Structure formats: structure tokens, C-alpha cells
Chains A and B, each alone.
Chain A
Amino acid sequence: MSLTPVHLQFIAIGGLWTIGLSAIAFIGGSIIGFALALARISPSPLVRRLAAGYIQIVQGTPLLVTLFLFYFGLAVIGLDRLPAIVAAGFGLVVYSSAFLAEIWRGCLESVPKTQWEAAECLALTRWQRMTRVILPQAMRIATAPTVGFLVQIVKNTSLASVVGFVELAQAGKLVNNTIFEPFTVFIVVAAFYFVICYPLSAWSRSLERKLNVGRR
């Protein structure tokens, strides 16, 4: 048997779920990641250390294992009837939060110290310094690597297939189970991923170039 339009449509729908899951991971990961980034530069050593600990644990565990942990962990607390997207969503949010936190911490720290001092000398509060002076500058630096990480998120949603969530990769596996043309099927799946990821990569690169030109 060969690939039919019905199969292609099935894979395309998987592609939409990939985008949806990526959005969940990015939005959830951004909220937690932003809080973590702030915690990483907090004046309190305890807060800094806790945030660093969380980030190290998450970054030291393969996403695949994180997903298994959420999948079986939710069952452990009696939530075993939840759809697969819940475990996948939680796992990817946690994963994204740790990496985004580190990216953004780097951007916050790359704003020169003199900017903090200047803001402090103007008698701004810590919150005002952050929102009025530091964040606007850090965000400019952060856009390119953030968009770049979005590519990582999209690619890593493929691992949600291991907990049975039907996104692109899982859709490919299911189609392959009926027609057994693995090479063709996964080339098609890879092409779908490429179509989603490449524009993001290109965008990230052009953002980076613009930033570098602006700095010179």
C-alpha cells in the first residue's frame, strides 16, 4: 500500500497538534521561565539557589524521561484517565521553562551593570528599574535566541508521541503501521517539521543579524 491523500490529511492534522502543543509549551514555559529568570538574579541567595537547582535538575534529565515521569506521576496521584496531552503538556512546559529561564537570565545579565546603577541613582525602585530600564533592553537581546529555542520546542514535541499523544511523529507512526512504508512516511513527516521550523530558524537568524548591526 502507498501513501494516500487520507494519510496525508491525517499527518497534516498531526501537524496542527504539533503546533498546538508547541504553543502550550511555549506559553506555559514562558510564564514559569520568566519567573525563574527573575529568581536567578534575585537578591536573595536562597531564591537564587532554588531556581538554579530546579533548572539543573530539569536540564540534566532527558525530556523523554521527564515525559515518562509526568505520564506515570499523574497516574500515581490518581489522574490516570486524563488525555495524553495533559502529561505531554506538563512535561514540555517544565522542560521549556528551564531552558527559557537560562536564556533570559543571560539576556538580563548582558545589560551593562552601569544601567542598573544609573537607574538606582535616579531613585527608581527595584521594580521600576526592572520594568522601565532593564527589561526593554534585555527583550531586544532576547528575541533572537527565544525564537531559536521555539524551534527546539517544536522539534521536541515529537517526543510526546511516547505517551501516546497523536502529533506529527505519532501520526507518522500510525500511518506507517497501516501501510508499512517507513522511509516514505517519515520523509513526509520530516518535511512537515521542516516547513514549521525553517521559517522560525530563518527569522531568528535575521533578528540576530539586525541586533548585531545595531550594536556596531
Chain B
Amino acid sequence: MSYQFDFSALLPYWPVFLQGVWLTLKLSALATVFGFVVGTLCAIARADGPPWLKTVVAIYVETIRNTPLLVQIFLVYFGFASLGLKVTANTAAVAALVVNVGAYTCEIVRAGLESIHKSQLEAAECLGLTRTQTYWHVIVRPAIERVYPALTSQYVLLMLASSITSQISAEELTAVANRIQSDTFRSFETYIVTGALYIVLSFVVRAAFTLFGLVIFPRRRKLGTAI
């Protein structure tokens, strides 16, 4: 129990840590944007697609939700290779995260779509809106507004889970930390700093989502209540 903490050995590495933070933000932002698109399309397909497509989406969602992200990352990484495609670890990381978070997004958005009452569709129909117009204005937009808090939590989890891509040596905060600890041999201190940075990141990401929500949902800004 005579361990001497020594954080000073990490001081020269602070630009490297910051670089790691930036890479993690970039990685998770990419995965969030594409994951949202994939997930929303899947939710729409699952709610209103042809039967075969519903089945395909259901299989996709269940497969992803019942297997670990780590294994999905390996499968995507080695899957590209076995297809003869040469991709960087980072591309494979983003692809795996998109596939993963797309499935969770699908479930969340689907719950939102199902929460829109049938009478809303009838009203839109009676105003003469086309199917597509109704879908966009009366179903998808309010549904996403309604599940926005759940999506926010999911994307904060995604940011934290992106640390797992260090296992295929993708460039992000945890991979950077792994390198620093093997350089300095101050492993415990390195991961304490890393953990603290992730905590800060999770606050920052959550705050960013809240702000973004206020910008894109004027109703939330004005009334401050959930739809």
C-alpha cells in the first residue's frame, strides 16, 4: 500500500490526450449521424414496409441487440478483409458503430412512430396531404421530437462505447491512453485521467444534444415541455 501516485509523468502527454478526445468526438459524431439515418430508415421500413423488409429489419435489430459490440467490431473489421476490401481500422470502427447504433435507433424511433395517434393521420389525410407529406410532417417529425431524450442517452452511450474500437486499434481516446500507459508505465494514473476525460466528454455531449434539441425543436424551446 505504499504506492506513490505520479501524475506529473503524464503532463507532457496532455496534447496527446486532447488529440484522443478530438478523435473520439469525431468518431462518435460520424457514427451518430449515419446511425441515426440508418436507424430511422429501418424504423420506417419496420413500421410500414413490405412484409419481407419488415422481417429483414427485425432480424437485423435482434441480431445486433443480442450480440456484444466487441464481437460486432471484430466481425466488421475481419469481414471487410475477407471480402478483399482494404479499409483502415477507423473506417471499420465507424462502420461497426453505425451498424450497432442503427439497430438501437431503429427501436427507439419505432416506439416514437407508434406513439403517434391514428387520428393525426386522418386529419392530415383530410387536409389533402399526400402519403409522403403526411409521413414527414405529421409522423416522423413529431415522433423524433418525442423520442429525442431517449436518442440523446443512446448517443452518449455510443460515445462511451466507441472506446471499444481501440481493440482493433482505431484511433480514439482509449487507444491513445493504451499507448501513453505503455510509454510511461503509469497505467493507473493514465486510466484515471482517461476516465475523467470521458466523464467530461459525456457531460459535453449531453449538453450539445440538449442545445441542438432547442435549436431544431422550437416547441421545446418555447414551452420547455416534452411533446
Contacts and interface: CB of A to CB of B under 8 A. Distances in A.
B78 A182 contact: yes
B198 A183 contact: no
Contact of B65 (A69, A77, A201): A201
A118 B77 CA distance: 58
Interface stretch (A30-38, A43-51, A188-196): A188-196
Main secondary structure of the interface of A (DSSP, over half): helix
B210 interface: no
Contacts of B66: 151, 155, 193-194, 197-198, 201
A72 B62 contact: no
Contact of B174 (A56, A62, A156): A62
Contacts of A197: 65-67
Contacts of B79: 183
Interface string A57-92: 101111111101100110111100000000000000
Contact of A65 (B1, B69, B81, B194): B194
Interface of B: 1, 3, 62-63, 65-72, 74-75, 78-79, 81-82, 160-161, 163-164, 166-167, 174, 177, 181, 187-188, 191-192, 194-195, 198-199, 201-203
A172 interface: yes
A161 B164 CA distance: 11
B65, B167, B174, B191 pick with most chain A CB within 10 angstroms: B191
A193 B199 contact: no
A189 B188 contact: no
Given A60-B199, A201-B65, A69 B71 contact: no
B203 A189 contact: no
Secondary structure call for the B interface = helix
Nearest to B77: A182
B172 to A, nearest CB: 10
A158 B68 contact: yes
Nearest to B194: A65
B62 A201 contact: yes
Nearest to B164: A64
A76 B70 CA distance: 27
Given A62-B174, A169-B68, A198-B62, A77 B3 contact: yes
Contacts of B160: 60-63
A153 B7 CA distance: 33
Contacts of A158: 68-71
Interface string A165-181: 00001001000000000
